[in-house]
Amino acid sequence: MLIDVQFSSGHNDFPRLREAVLQAEADGFDTTWVLDHFDGAMVGGDRDVLECFTLLGALAEATSTIKLGSLVANVTNRHPALLALCASTTYRISGGRFTLGIGAGAAPDTPWSREHHERGIPIMPLLADRHANVVHNIQVVRATAEPMPIIVGVNSVELAVIAGHQADGVNIRLSSPHSARYLAAAREAAGDKPFDCSGWASHDDMASQQKAYDLGLDRLIISRLHSLDA
């Protein structure tokens, strides 16, 4: 199983993130993953986050071997054509080391939608429409960008099935009590095609990290959502 790492720009500024990613590269982590939010408070941070693809481009230039990914780019945040251009740019700058992770975004009546409401960003009210938007974004990226791997972050069986049919991989939150069900649905929908199965867990959640091994995942993403100077 590959071991990846995710750091938070909601807790750390770029020089510290750059240092941490370079150390992760030296330590042999396979991929480093970048958040896609506006407000660092959404992940317990104390500052606005660095824009996802701008940060990925900077990290691509700073590194040479570690792979890079978005975990996950919220399809609510960008027009599909802009998402495709952002992904293509990151892929080109990194020399093909980039994986596009995308997600459907939160429902409008949940705490996770606050940062969108505050910025006047509309959210599709129906779950089916948000899922259809994921499919549309994948189709636009496939049609207009370099042929990069695409994974979908899921929190429902329905989106897991979409990941299996439409994408090259799935990501699950390992602390979810339904993570095994989501993974099974994605794997069944993917059939025999190559399909990357990953899960993320907090750096201090050893039970969820063990679940990655129990589920036979291809990769474990260790999420370090805290200040790296603490």
| Rounded-to-integer distance, Cα 63 and Cα 72, Å | 21
Taking the domains of the chain in order of start, what are their residue ranges? Answer: 2-224
* pLDDT tens-digit series, residues 90-102: 999 999 999 999 9
pLDDT at residue 210, rounded to an integer:
98
At residue 211, the 3 state secondary structure works out as helix
| Rounded-to-integer distance, Cα 56 and Cα 54, Å | 5
Strands 2-7, 31-34: pairing is parallel
Record the tokens describing residue 114, joined without a space: 């606050």
For residues 102 and 70, the answer to whether their CB atoms sit within 8 Å is yes
pLDDT at residue 229, rounded to an integer:
87
At residue 169, the 3 state secondary structure works out as strand
Instruction: Spell out the CATH class of 2-224.
Output: alpha beta
User: If we measure between CA atoms, which residue out of 194, 175, 172, 192 comes closest to residue 183?
Assistant: 172
pLDDT at residue 230, rounded to an integer:
65
Each of the 230 residues of the chain gets a pLDDT tens digit; together they read 999 999 999 999 999 999 999 999 999 999 999 999 999 999 999 999 999 999 999 999 999 999 999 999 999 999 999 999 999 999 999 999 999 999 999 999 999 999 999 999 999 999 999 999 999 999 999 999 999 999 999 999 999 999 999 999 999 999 999 999 999 999 999 999 999 999 999 999 999 999 999 999 999 999 999 999 86
Integer CA distances (angstroms), 198 to 64, 95, 110, 220, 222, in order: 23, 23, 25, 6, 11
For residues 76 and 121, the answer to whether their CB atoms sit within 8 Å is yes
